[in-house]
Every structure is written in structure tokens, then in C-alpha cells.
Amino acid sequence: MDAQDIVNTVSEKAGLDQAVTEKVVGTIFSVLEHEADGTTLSRFFAKIPGADGLAQKYDVMAAGSAGSGGLLSSLQGALGGVLGEKTGALINGIAALKASGLDMAQIRQAGATLIQQAETAAGPELTNEVLGSVPSLKGHLGLS
């Protein structure tokens, strides 16, 4: 199973447009790329061909990635600078998901489906290890 298969399944199960789904999946992969343990993440991405490419395409730490700028972007930049890249990546990622026009229920459904598909592709143990290194992301996706 590759990243495109995951996008297709999430799109179908969450009832989302393909382009929006790609952004959601890429954004979540990008948050993981910036926050998860490097060795564990490398093994995880190796099991899902194309995941690293999607993470880079929707890089939450790239300039202007969190939305249209303004006060929210300024706050995100300040918080990210004060709290470190990891927190900044999560804040930017959640802002990008919300900016895609989805409500929290849709984000949670897409996130839960993404995690199910990642467990199928990379195995539940490795997926849980990656998510375990980013516990705040699990909370935002409504996962326990």
C-alpha cells in the first residue's frame, strides 16, 4: 500500500474531495515528519511509498504553509519560535487542516482512517510507535 492508496481510501471513507484529502494526508505526514523520532519515522515512511513526498509537498513548516498570513500566522510563528519546531509543526498542521475548509469531525474522521490505513501498510506496532512520539497529534485527531 502506498500513499496514494491511503489518500484514495481516506477520500472514500471520509467522503472528501480527492484534492482536499491529499492535503489532509500530506499535512498529517508533514507534522509526523517534523515531530516524530527520526529513526522510527524513516522506517514508517519506508513502509508507505510516497509518504515522504506528500509530507514535503504539504510541509507545515514551509513559509506561508499555515494559511493566508495575518495575525494567526504571526502567532503561529511566535509560538513555534518560543516552543520549538515540534510545537510549531503541530500548530501549523492543525491550522492548515482547518484552513482546508474541514470541520473537526471531518478532520478526525480523515485522521482516524489515515491511521487505520497506516497500520495496514506499516503495521500497528510501528504506527503506534510513531504516533506515540507525537501524543498531541493523536489528541487533535480524536484518537486515544
Report the alpha-carbon angle 86-88-91, nearest 5: 115
pLDDT of 86 reads 53
pLDDT above 70 covers a percentage of the chain that reads 81
Average pLDDT over residues 56-66: 78
| Planar angle of CA 44, 49, 53, nearest 5 degrees | 95
Give pLDDT tens digits for 9-47. 999 999 999 999 999 999 999 999 998 878 899 999 999
Categorize the per-residue pLDDT at 133 as very low, low, confident or very high, splitting at 50, 70 and 90. Answer: confident
For residue 99, count CB atoms less than 10 angstroms from its CB and return exposed for 0-12, middle for 13-18, buried for 19 or more. middle
Residue 83: is its pLDDT beyond 60?
Answer: no
**Residue 144: what pLDDT?**
59
Please tell me which residue, 131 or 65, carries the higher pLDDT value.
131
Count of positions (residues) in the chain: 144
- Domain spans of the chain? 3-140
